[in-house]
Amino acid sequence: MGRTLAEKVWDAHIVRQAEGEPDLIYIDLHLVHEVTSPQAFEGLRLAGRQVRRPDLTIATEDHNTPTVDIDKPIADLTSRTQIDTLRKNCEEFGVRLHPLGDVDQGIVHVVGPQLGLTQPGLTVVCGDSHTSTHGAFGALAFGIGTSEVEHVLATQSLSARPFKTMAVNVEGTLKPGTTAKDIILAVIAQIGTGGGQGYVLEYRGEAIRELSMEARMTICNMSIEAGARAGMIAPDETTFDYIHGRPHAPAGKEWDAAVEYWRTLRSDDDAVFDAEVTIDAESLEPFVTWGTNPGQGLPLSGAVPDPEAISDETSRAAAERALEYMDLAPGTRLRDIAVDTVFIGSCTNGRIEDLRAAAEVVRGRRKADGVRVLVVPGSFKVRMQAESEGLDAVFTEFGAEWRHAGCSMCLGMNPDQLAPGERSASTSNRNFEGRQGKGGRTHLVSPLVAAATGVRGTLSSPADLEPSEPVA
């Protein structure tokens, strides 16, 4: 019987297998950031252990970093301490670090691919659940906890059980105005926040093949919101073209050898998945969430659901609770929901194509009165690229704030937060209670919907915009 992509990558990394025990698998690339690593390094120190492979490890500062005044000391003392701790740990253990202000600093999941470190067939881990992002390259990439971070630092391996496999077939072609974000929000709404639990999701089908690498990353990034630790897409010419020439891409004969191997990384025709779901891309509309988990989403043309109409008791209770938190009444048209803040950024949608897409929508327009628009590039390099294309001017003329790179308002560990009761349209990945600030309310959207919402002040898609709306 043939093997799936995930099984091929897993099998190629088995260090040890024993009856009744998890496999010991080798880790090719370990990404580190300041939040989930301090206690891991401390553990090494206490046990007198070293980092086994600093040459397979790389760290960036992203979660706590401010997006303004980055040349000044970080005002929040606990944030500064955490950043300082990472710097000391990286120095002590010989780990490469891209600190705030460095040209390669940025969100860890933007930086890895940008440097060409993320490649097909690798095992990639990070103390961060959005490590699933890197699966877009055909890598097996997943988030781990701090104890596992320590384990990987010490042994470059991980004790784990093989995942089950689920094929997510996305058939047909996306209509204009719909994006990778709408695909993944629709997938999560279909299978639920626990639907992918225990699985690697392999995204397949015509719509996936047609996506750019950055769009594929958006999809794999949110696999975890369906409960799956990893999402994967088989590498193809799009993948190879993206990697070619990047700083850490193989070169010369090594490139040829790598590509020859990478071409084998696809699920065999006779491979059997443990589960399979199908989504019709053709029928997708822009998707937005109305509740407090990423599975509570609907097409933008819909209305806030009535919990009374939900038959499953647990789902009904969750919906009731979500509507209370979100301060929404059943039946409200999603397009009538007004927001205070638009956030464009994060490891889900903070790459250059996301910024280009949003900029095209807002070019020559002014934001709605009273709406704050934050644009936060995913990395320093993304910011530089955007500026070289003049996108920063497009955003600032629109009335948006053009910020420095980091996780920012995706989780509000830095000062970029919603105030209690404030509502956002956000291109990030989680609409959990308080995620973007205590009492804040989040609607997850694509960059196109975020930008159009900034124009109108209510949840909107570019198709809702009048061509004649005020031009600066």
Partner 1 sequence: MEKFSRHTGVGVPLRYSNVDTDQIIPAVYLKRVTRTGFEDALFAAWRGDDSFVLNQPAFSSGSVLVAGPDFGTGSSREHAVWALKDYGFKVVLSSRFADIFRGNSGKQGLLTGELAQDDIELIWKVLENAPGTEVTVDLEHRQVRCAEVVAPMQVDDYTRWRLMEGLDDIGLTMRHVDMISDFEAARPSHKPRTLS
Among residue numbers 136 through 165, which ones bind partner 1 (CB under 8 A)?
143-148, 150-151, 154-157, 159
Nearer to partner 1, 257 or 472 (CB): 257
Q: How far is the CB of 29 from partner 1 (least distance, A)?
A: 7
Q: Residues comprising the binding site?
A: 347, 407, 410
Does 116 contact partner 1 by CB under 8 A? yes
Candidate residues 4, 65, 67, 82; the one interacting with partner 1 per rule CB under 8 A: 82
Nearer to partner 1, 50 or 173 (CB): 50
What is the rounded CA–CA span in Å between residue 281 and residue 187?
10
Nearer to partner 1, 121 or 350 (CB): 121
Does 172 contact partner 1 by CB under 8 A? no
Q: Near partner 1 by CB under 8 A, which window of 175-183, 193-201, 345-353, 449-457? A: 193-201
Candidate residues 55, 282, 306, 469; the one interacting with partner 1 per rule CB under 8 A: 55
Nearer to partner 1, 368 or 407 (CB): 407
DSSP state of 423: E
Candidate residues 58, 180, 219, 450; the one interacting with partner 1 per rule CB under 8 A: 58
Does 75 contact partner 1 by CB under 8 A? no
What is the rounded CA–CA span in Å between residue 445 and residue 238?
25
Cα separations in angstroms, 251 against 136, 243, 247, 261, 378? 21, 11, 10, 14, 27
Q: How far is the CB of 289 from partner 1 (least distance, A)?
A: 13
Does 54 contact partner 1 by CB under 8 A? yes
Cα separations in angstroms, 351 against 43, 83, 130, 377? 34, 24, 15, 7
Q: How far is the CB of 110 from partner 1 (least distance, A)?
A: 16
Inter-residue contact 196 to 61 (CB < 8 Å): no
Inter-residue contact 162 to 70 (CB < 8 Å): no
Inter-residue contact 14 to 27 (CB < 8 Å): no
**Count, residues near partner 1 per rule CB under 8 A:** 83
Q: How far is the CB of 226 from partner 1 (least distance, A)?
A: 10
Nearer to partner 1, 97 or 400 (CB): 97
Nearer to partner 1, 405 or 413 (CB): 413
Q: Is 156 left (phi over 0), alpha (psi -120 to 50) or beta?
A: left
Q: Residues comprising the binding site for [4Fe-4S] cluster?
A: 347, 407, 410
Among residue numbers 252 through 271, which ones bind partner 1 (CB under 8 A)?
254-255, 257-258, 261
Among residue numbers 87 through 106, which ones bind partner 1 (CB under 8 A)?
96
Instruction: Find all residues with CB under 8 Å of 224, minimum gap 6, and list them.
Output: 129, 130, 132, 143
Candidate residues 8, 10, 57, 375; the one interacting with partner 1 per rule CB under 8 A: 57
Inter-residue contact 17 to 152 (CB < 8 Å): no
Q: What is the DSSP string of 111-149?
A: HHHHTT---TT-EEEESSGGGGGGGGGT-EEEE--HHHH
Among residue numbers 286 through 345, which ones bind partner 1 (CB under 8 A)?
293, 314-315, 317-318, 321
Nearest C-alpha neighbor of 402 from the set 426, 383, 415, 429: 383
Residue 66: enclosing H or E segment and its boundaries?
none
The residue whose two tokens read 């933008």 is: 300
The residue whose two tokens read 């190629």 is: 12
What is the rounded CA–CA span in Å between residue 197 and residue 277?
14
Among residue numbers 358 through 417, which ones bind partner 1 (CB under 8 A)?
411-413
Does 128 contact partner 1 by CB under 8 A? yes
Candidate residues 107, 224, 339, 358; the one interacting with partner 1 per rule CB under 8 A: 224
Q: What are phi and psi of 204, to 5 degrees?
A: -140, 175
The residue whose two tokens read 């301490």 is: 81
Q: How far is the CB of 125 from partner 1 (least distance, A)?
A: 10
Nearer to partner 1, 26 or 206 (CB): 26
Q: How far is the CB of 105 from partner 1 (least distance, A)?
A: 15
Q: How far is the CB of 391 from partner 1 (least distance, A)?
A: 28
Inter-residue contact 16 to 24 (CB < 8 Å): yes
Q: How far is the CB of 17 from partner 1 (least distance, A)?
A: 10
Nearer to partner 1, 381 or 456 (CB): 381
Inter-residue contact 337 to 370 (CB < 8 Å): no
